[in-house]
Chain A
Amino acid sequence: SAVISQKPSRDICQRGTSLTIQCQVDSQVTMMFWYRQQPGQSLTLIATANQGSEATYESGFVIDKFPISRPNLTFSTLTVSNMSPEDSSIYLCSVRTGDTQYFGPGTRLTVL
């Protein structure tokens, strides 16, 4: 299994600003995944982050808007840039160890 922590747990931000979300895993993992979830809705994969290389983004998500860092095998950050109210969501960090995927507690972002 894997234990994942995220910071911050929630934040309220102004339009046009940026927020960086941190994700820490208690073990070394090759891939880390970032998801967005509208409240009460399903998960949307934003990108896959591999240590030492550029993240791979899903359709509809771009690096300029959601830059990701992956400096080592236990840590990653996701930045939500130039925020608008449409970016209000829960952002989840996730890893897959063996055959099971585990999730962090999420970061609840509200953009005013």
Chain B
Amino acid sequence: AQSVAQPEDQVNVAEGNPLTVKCTYSVSGNPYLFWYVQYPNRGLQFLLKYITGDNLVKGSYGFEAEFNKSQTSFHLKKPSALVSDSALYFCAVSPLHSGNTPLVFGKGTRLSVIA
């Protein structure tokens, strides 16, 4: 069965510093990997995805993520954090390119960017 692990409940970073939010996955076959962000009192917003191709994918708001097959990781990164990036971040995985199955989500990592 597929699963996603986000080992950090909370990540704190100073504004202007680079940030990393970690995610590892377990899935049979080729994974489809996703990152979502949830701002307070909002639903989840899609940030970026890896399906195939270049291991470094770029998404919304200056975020990017690197797919590493050997380490089964898909860490979310941003070169320079903003206070407005403070939110809850979810990693998700799907082994199938199918609209009939939901993604499997990690437990979430709360990012706090301090001015």
Which stretch (A12-20, A63-71, A95-103) binds chain B?
A: A95-103
Contacts of B102 in A (CB 8 A): 31, 33, 45, 48, 94, 96, 101
The docked-state distance in angstroms from the alpha carbon of A79 to that of B106 is: 26
- Decide: A42 and B44 in contact? CB cutoff 8 A: no
Binary CB contact string for chain A from 3 to 46 against chain B (1 if under 8 A, 0 otherwise): 01000000000000000000000000111010000001111010
CB-contact partner of B99 in A40, A42, A98, A105, under 8 A: A98
Contact B42–A41 (Cβ < 8 Å) = no
List of B residues within 8 angstroms of A101 by Cβ: 34, 46, 92, 102-103
List residues of chain A with CB within 8 A of the CB of B43.
4, 92, 103-106
Q: A100-B34, A101-B92 are in contact. Are A31 and B100 (CB under 8 A)?
A: yes
Q: Mark B94-108, 1 if CB is under 8 A from A, else 0.
A: 100111111101111
Q: Roughly how many angstroms separate A3 CA and B10 CA in the complex, as a whole number?
A: 30
What residues on B are CB-neighbors of A33 within 8 Å?
102
Question: Are A31's CB and B41's CB within 8 A?
Answer: no
User: Does B27 touch A at the CB level, under 8 Å?
Assistant: no
* CA gap between A102 and B108 in the complex, in Å: 17
Find chain B residues with CB under 8 A from A43 CB.
44, 90, 105
Chain B interface size range: 20 to 34
* A105 CA to B45 CA, complexed, in Å: 9
Q: Does B58 contact A (CB under 8 A)?
A: no
A96 touches B110 (CB 8 A): no
Q: In whole angstroms, how far apart are the Cα atoms of A102 and B36 in the complex?
A: 10
Which residues B32-61 have CB closer than 8 A to chain A? Answer: 32, 34, 36, 41-46, 49, 51
A31's closest neighbor in chain B, by CB?
Answer: B100
Q: Bound complex: CA of A101 vs CA of B102, how far in Å?
A: 7
- Known A-B contacts A43-B105, A99-B94, A101-B34; A30 and B100 likewise in contact (beta carbons under 8 Å): yes
Most buried by B among A29, A100, A104: A100
B residues near A (Cβ < 8 Å) are: 32, 34, 36, 41-46, 49, 51, 88, 90, 92, 94, 97-103, 105-108, 110
